[in-house]
Amino acid sequence: MPNTEITKTIQSNLSDTVPFSAQLNGVCTLPQWGLLLVSGEDAIPFLHGQLTNDIKLLQENSACLAGYCTPKGRLLTSMLAWKSAQQIYLQLPVALLPGFQKRLQMFIMRSKVTLQEQTGICSAIGIIGKTASAQLTDWFPVLPEAPYTSVSTAAGTLLRLADALTMPRYQWIAGTEQASLHWPVVFSRLNTLPSAAWDWTEIQAGIPHISIATQEKFVPQMINYELIGAVNFKKGCYPGQEIVARTHYLGKQKRRMALGQIAGSGAQSGMEVFAAGEPEQACGMIVNAQSNGAHASDCLIEIKTMYLAGPHTIQLASGEAVRWLPMPYPLPVPAESD
């Protein structure tokens, strides 16, 4: 959702032949995200009854991850939520926003809630790296110290998100006037990165995002939602809550999301993966994939946990093998069998 006048002239200086991990320090636009403002007297209790996380616990100057499920407990979208003056902002993939907004609208009924798409009214840029973030103090004298906290000034709101490979990451959200005033200076000072660089850091941080290709494919725990603080098992009802909670409390979670690397750039969200010698039945699915700048794709892959242990070769239908990489957070001990 970038300001178009600002981004028309932005050119990335990121090399196509050097791994992202060796050159990520700068700023990028984030057109892949849409923004929805939920306001009104009943906004917080309404969202509390719709999303996987406990929106009532969301404090001013803080953010959280959350999801929206079908009645069968399958995720329709993933999102980032933050609170500002008793209003809630929801950032989610721009391609999923219209359907999500339409679905939420159906359940408002007599509640005092207003949904307003902010894409284009408020924009976001991503800032990655210690040197780059240090340049923000002219606008934000005190930077958010912990992931999922924020600070606000006359220049907008600065959210700190989960670090990736020890790199601090921030989103700066600003209105059109603020962005036009401040962002040209930011882009003149910092290296300009492609939007794909942000997506790659999300994968490295182990943060999954639902796409059109993966809607209704995963129960939250299948993509580690409870491990990244995106689902609360103590809160009240929301669509699919009974199934999500039952899966958790019965301890029958036998699918997880792991970080892998696949040669080439052909890996895409929604592609199935297979155990070598078992081409007739998929054992997992790519949640998110992004070229890493070094002739390979780094991927978050949902898979049966039995295939994460032992000498299993996992591959795409076209034959490219998965090389497993360390996750940024520990996974529970895999189930012994499926």
pLDDT digits (tens, 9 = 90+) for 97-118: 999 999 999 999 889 999 999 9
Domains, in order of start, for the chain: 4-204 (3.30.1360.120), 254-325 (2.40.30.110)
Query: Does pTM top 0.75 for this prediction?
Result: yes
Q: How far apart are CA 337 and CA 256, in angstroms?
A: 13
pLDDT of residue 297: 95
Q: How far apart are CA 193 and CA 316, in angstroms?
A: 29
**Cα distances (Å, whole numbers) of residue 222 to 66, 164, 253, 287:** 14, 21, 7, 10
Q: How far apart are CA 122 and CA 46, in angstroms?
A: 23
pLDDT of residue 24: 84
pLDDT of residue 10: 37
Q: Which of 185, 208, 165 is nearest to 25 (CA)?
A: 165
**338 residues of the chain, pLDDT tens digit each:** 344 443 333 334 444 444 666 668 999 999 999 999 999 999 999 999 999 999 999 999 999 999 999 999 999 999 999 998 889 999 999 999 999 999 999 999 889 999 999 998 999 999 999 999 999 999 999 999 999 999 999 999 999 999 999 999 999 999 999 999 999 999 999 999 999 999 999 999 999 999 999 999 999 999 999 999 999 999 888 999 999 998 888 776 789 999 999 999 899 999 999 999 898 899 999 999 999 888 899 999 999 999 987 789 999 999 999 999 999 999 986 544 44
pLDDT tens sequence across 243-273: 999 888 877 678 999 999 999 989 999 999 9
CB of 97 closer than 8 Å to CB of 215: no
pLDDT of residue 7: 39
Tokens encoding 233: 């098992």
Q: How far apart are CA 298 and CA 260, in angstroms?
A: 6
CA of residue 26 relative to chain centroid, distance: 19
CB of 179 closer than 8 Å to CB of 123: yes
Q: How far apart are CA 148 and CA 171, in angstroms?
A: 10
Q: How far apart are CA 122 and CA 84, in angstroms?
A: 14
Q: How far apart are CA 78 and CA 91, in angstroms?
A: 9
Long-range contact pairs involving 17-21 (C-beta distance under 8 Å, separation at least 24): 17/293, 17/294, 18/293, 18/294, 19/292, 19/293, 19/294, 20/197, 20/200, 20/201, 20/292, 20/293, 20/294, 21/165, 21/204, 21/292
Burial of 2 (0-12, 13-18, 19+ CB in 10 A): buried
